[in-house]
Structure 1
Amino acid sequence: MADGKHIATARKLRTTMTDAERRLWSRLRDRRLGGFKFRRQVPIAGFVADFACLDANLIVEVDGGQHVDEAESDLQRTRKLDELGFRVVRFWNDDVLIRTDDVLEAIRLALSGESASL
C-alpha cells in the first residue's frame, strides 16, 4: 500500500513530467496501446513507477542521464519489483523522444511477455 509521502511525490511528479514522459504518456493514456490501461507516476512498494499497467504487472521506466549514476539503486529497485511479480522495462529519454515507435513496439512485446529491449 502506498503511504502519504509516496502519494504526494507521485502527485508532484505528475505535474512535472519530462518531455519524454509526456510524449510516452500521450501514447499510453486512454488505453491507446493495445487496449491496456496504464497509469502514470504510480506508488508501488515504496517507489514511484513512471508508468504501470497493473493488469499486466508491467512497469515502464523512462530514465534520464541521472540514472547513469544511479544504476545500482535502479537494479535494487528492479529486483524488489520483480520479487513482487512486476516486470520492469527501461528506456532512455532520448529513445522515447527520437525512437518513439520503437519504444512502443518494445512495450507491446513486453505486454505479451516477450523481450522488450531496444
Structure 2
Amino acid sequence: MIWLRISRYRPRFTRQLVIGPYIVDLACRSAKLAIEFDGSQHLDAQAYDERRSLFLRGQGWTMLRFWNGDVIENPDGVVEAILNRATECLGGTHPQPLPGREGRKKSG
C-alpha cells in the first residue's frame, strides 16, 4: 500500500534494503532515511530494534517508524510524513513525483 504510493517519487525509495547486518522495510538511500513498519510482533523485539537503530544511526541513517495500524488507517498521512522527513534529510529538497505517462495509449 505505502510502496505503491511512495514508488512514484524520486529520489528512489527501495524495499527491503540490506544495511550492514540488518534489513529495513523501506529506505531512501540518497536521504539516508530508513523506514520501519512495526506490528504487534515488534513489542517482543524492542532490544533488537534498539540495536538496529543504534547501528543505523552510527552509519548516518535516520530512522522513521510507523505502526501497521497507522499504515492501514492513514496511508496518505504516512506517505506525507515519509516525504517530509526525506525533505529534511535531503536539506530541503522535496522528493518529486515521476512525470505522468500522458500521451501513451493502450493498444487494444
* Shared fold, TM over 0.5: yes
Counterpart selection for 2:22 from 27, 47, 50: 47
Q: TM (normalized to structure 2)?
A: 0.77
Residue 6 (structure 2) aligns with: 28
Aligned-partner residue type, residue 37 of structure 2: V
Deviation at 1:36, TM superposition (A): 2.2
Structure 1: distance between partners of 2:21 and 2:6? 23
Task: Please say which structure displays the higher CA radius of gyration.
Answer: 2
Look up the equivalent residue of 1:41 and give its one-letter code. Q
Instruction: Provide the rounded CA distance (Å) in 2 between the counterparts of 1:28 and 1:100.
Output: 10
The answer to whether residue 84 in structure 2 is matched with residue 109 in structure 1 is: yes
TM-score (norm 1): 0.71
The aligned counterpart of 2:62 is 87
Alpha-carbon distance between aligned partners in 2 of 1:39 and 1:112, rounded to the nearest angstrom? 16
Question: What is the one-letter code of the residue matched to 2:67?
Answer: W
Q: Name the % identity.
A: 37
Distance 1:96 1:36 in 2: 21
In structure 2, distance between residues paired with 1:110 and 1:79: 19
Deviations 1:1-33 (A, max 9, x none): xxxxxxxxxxxxxxxxxxxxxx1111122xx23
Q: Which has the higher contact order (CA 8 A, sep 6+)?
A: 2
Which stretches of structure 1, 4 residues or longer, exceed 3 Å deviation after superposition? Answer: none
- Considering fraction of residues, name the structure with more helix: 1
CA deviation map 1:64-108 (0-9, x unaligned): 110011112101111100000000101011101111111111111
Q: How many residues end up aligned between the 2 structures?
A: 89
